[in-house]
Structure 1
């Protein structure tokens, strides 16, 4: 069996070029689709984007815990993080 190395290398280069082209097209289409979805989301959004930032509300999840218990939990967390 005589193998033509040049022919095999040309076929490999052709397959590599086709594969890279397909991946390039797919990624380009993906970026385009994401841009269109972001534009549509911004255009047809019900709420303005500035109001989406969450504000921390202190004491919202107190559930009847005394301030001493909350202070002890806070001190334990602080001590654990500073180890």
Structure 2
């Protein structure tokens, strides 16, 4: 076999592989979208109950941080500053 036929065979194999991968990805995307739409149609909406929220939360602009987490973070910062000699800003 000469080099030209080898190059043509390699190009043909590469093109076939790329087409197979492209078609597989298109099928995968379409199946996932179809499943998503079917499941969204039959899924129940979650019921939100405001009575289950805890009373000890601090509300910020972006999210709600539990007071216990805030206390733990503050304590860790205080301990770090004591151990490393940082001044209070």
Fold shared per TM-score above 0.5: yes
Instruction: State the Cα RMSD in Å.
Output: 3.3
Q: Which residue number in structure 2 is paired with residue 9 of structure 1?
A: 7
Higher relative contact order (CA 8 A, sep 6+): 2
- 1:33-58: CA deviations, max 9, x gaps? 1100110111111125x95xxx9644
Quote the residue 2:35 is aligned against. Answer: 37
**Structure 1 stretches of 4+ moved >6 Å:** none
TM-score normalized with structure 2 length: 0.57
TM-score (norm 1): 0.61
Question: What is the aligned residue count?
Answer: 66
Q: Please give the alpha-carbon distance, in whole angstroms, between the structure 2 residues aligned to 1:42 and 1:34.
A: 12
SS at match of 1:46: coil
How has the CA–CA distance of structure 1 residues 10 and 43 changed in structure 2, closer, same or farther, with 3 Å as cutoff?
same
